[in-house]
Amino acid sequence: MSTFKAPKGTYDLLPPDSADYLAVREALCAPLRRAGYGYAETPGFESVGLFARGVGESTDIVTKEMYTLTTKGGDELALRPEGTASVLRAALEANLHKAGNLPVKLWYSGSYYRYERPQKGRYRHFSQIGAEALGAEDPTLDAELIILAHDAYRSLGLRDFRILLNSLGDAQCRPAYRAALQDFLRGLDLDEATRARIEINPLRVLDDKRESVQRQLAGAPMMRDHLCEACKAFHEEVRTLLTAAGVAYEDDPRLVRGLDYYTRTTFEFVHDGLGSQSAVGGGGRYDGLSELIGGPALPSVGWALGVDRTVLALRAEGVELELPAATEVFAVPLGEAARRALFGAVTALRREGVAADLAYGGKSMKNAMKSANRSGARYALLLGERDLAEGVAQLKDLDSGEQTAVPLAEIVPHVSAKVR
């Protein structure tokens, strides 16, 4: 056993559990590739200022949860707590928005870091798949992204999730709502930290999960009652497109999510089987974020889906993923000459796309067959001295027990055909 352990609030991914995570990642990104989203990858750390400006200086993410460090050169860096600001920064730096083909559609996958109180479904290191559509103020994009996430979850077999939907207005109509909400909140019995938040970003108070706060918010004014006509029409179009696509959603007038950059559409995917950490993913429109980080006006929309939370949701529903076989053929050599012959056969099978493995270390037949069964292989390929003399190998079906002699020269085409 090692002297060291994984840091508190983190986890290691190892077989067999890691196979589920890989399958979830593939399922979440597959619809994005079909919809024209290209892959983006950004550094694991960025300038602290990128997140302070983009995510919001009053958010818990920036004030309490970011892992920060100072380099030897004096630069202030932070491990990325979310993906949108980094991807937008990368797209602006590469001038993708100037290529004349807007929107720029990108997807990404990676690990993110927040210093939070560890609990089931909430870690200090977590994995996400994200998608961003940059440079178009079009409700069709908002609906497209929600539908792509919905369809990805469905493809995994997930059924008991709900989509919460809201509009947060824009720079035209939100100021009046902000003032009305501040007036309401100032009359409540709140602690000093929450009162300070009222003056910086009162919408964040609506996202406070404490029951003592939520009870007092029962009569709070709602953004939907203050939307301008343009925001109403935009939101109604998103709703209409979702309904036409057969995607059910719930209107949630209090949904604001945890980041300051959202405008207009905001949404969340929740799964009631996860307890208090019910969100498995979410996102929204962020039409002013580009300007906040020094770029041009670039209206955009995106989401991030939690790989960890999605795996937990699947397990809560008892969904077993159909995983590709890690090993389809397991080769069992008896003797040095057989080992060399089967190593060549295994190499050739792998090159033909067959998942093949070999009993290493000179195991006995009994121990090698135990390894074959543990591998989950459907076939065992056996080769001993007598077989070598006869120029054949024995192909054994591990389900039925049936065994067939196969000429050594025909192992690769014969076994490949069997597996397929």
Residue tagged 């929450």 (tokens): 194
Average pLDDT over all residues of the chain: 92
Query: How confident is the model over 395-419, as a mean pLDDT?
Result: 94
Do residues 308 and 127 make contact, with C-beta atoms less than 8 angstroms apart? yes
Which pLDDT belongs to residue 199? Answer: 85
pLDDT digits (tens, 9 = 90+) for 193-245: 888 888 888 887 887 878 888 899 888 888 888 999 999 999 999 999 999 99
Which pLDDT belongs to residue 390? Answer: 94
Which pLDDT belongs to residue 246? Answer: 97
Q: In whole angstroms, what is the distance from residue 418 CA to residue 413 CA?
A: 9
pLDDT digits (tens, 9 = 90+) for 299-344: 999 999 999 999 999 999 999 998 888 899 999 999 999 999 999 9
Query: How confident is the model over 159-187, as a mean pLDDT?
Result: 91
Domain 329-419 belongs to what topology? Rossmann fold (3.40.50)
pLDDT digits (tens, 9 = 90+) for 296-311: 999 999 999 999 999 9
pLDDT digits (tens, 9 = 90+) for 17-27: 999 999 999 99
10 annotated as a binding-site residue: no
Q: In whole angstroms, what is the distance from residue 20 CA to residue 24 CA?
A: 6
Closest among 25, 2, 3 to 13, alpha carbons compared: 25
> What stretch(es) of the chain map to CATH 3.40.50.800?
329-419
What are the start-end ranges of the H helices in 55-162? 60, 84-93, 139-155
Which of the two residues, 141 and 191, has the higher pLDDT score?
141
Q: In whole angstroms, what is the distance from residue 184 CA to residue 22 CA?
A: 47
Query: How confident is the model over 77-101, as a mean pLDDT?
Result: 94
Whether residue 258 has pLDDT greater than 90: no
Which pLDDT belongs to residue 259? Answer: 65
User: Which residues contact residue 17 at a Cβ distance below 8 angstroms, ignoring those fewer than 6 apart?
Assistant: none
Least confident of 85-89, 157-161, 282-286, 359-363: 359-363
> What stretch(es) of the chain map to CATH 3.30.930.10?
17-173+227-317
116 annotated as a binding-site residue: no
195 annotated as a binding-site residue: no
159 annotated as a binding-site residue: no
Assign 119 a pLDDT band (cuts: 50, 70, 90): confident
**pTM over 0.85, yes/no:** yes
26 annotated as a binding-site residue: no
Which pLDDT belongs to residue 58? Answer: 62
83 annotated as a binding-site residue: yes
262 annotated as a binding-site residue: yes
Which pLDDT belongs to residue 324? Answer: 83
257 annotated as a binding-site residue: yes
Helix (H) or strand (E) holding 180: helix 174-185
Share of the chain above pLDDT 90, in %: 71
Q: In whole angstroms, what is the distance from residue 374 CA to residue 379 CA?
A: 12
CATH architecture type of domain 17-173+227-317: 2-Layer Sandwich (3.30)
11 annotated as a binding-site residue: no
Closest among 122, 109, 125, 118 to 42, alpha carbons compared: 109
Whether residue 31 is preceded by a cis peptide bond, meaning omega within 30 degrees of 0, is no
Whether residue 379 has pLDDT greater than 90: yes
